Structure 1
Amino acid sequence: MNIGSYSLLVARPTGSAGWWPRLGLGAAALMVLWWAARGAQVSFGELGKGLPWIGDFLARMVPPNWAFLDKLWVPAIETVQIALWGTLLAVIMAVPVCFFAARNLTPNLAVFHFTRQVFNVTRGINEIILALVFVAAVGLGPFPGVLALAVHGAGMLGKFFSESIEEIDQGPIEALRATGAGPVQTVIFGVIPQVITAWIAVVLYRFETNLRQATVLGMVGAGGIGFELVGSMKLFQYQDTATCIVVIIVMVMAADYVSTRLRAWIQKGAR
Structure 2
Amino acid sequence: MTNNYIHPTPGLPGRLLARLANSRRIATARRAVFSRLPFLTLESDVRDVVYLTWMMDAADAQAMVPVGVRLWQRNGLTPFSILTYRHGHFGPALAGPARRLMPSPLQSNWRFYLEEPGKVYFVRNIMDSALHALGTRMFSDILPTHLPGRFVHAREGEGYFTSIEPGAGSAPLLEARTRANSQRVLPPDLAGAFANWDEAVAFLACQHMAVIEVPGLGRMVESAISLPIPLDEALPLVAESVNCPMAGAGAGTPFCFAVPRVRFRVLSESLAAS
**TM-score, length-normalised on structure 2?**
0.22
Q: Which has the higher contact order (CA 8 A, sep 6+)?
A: 1
Larger helix fraction of residues:
1
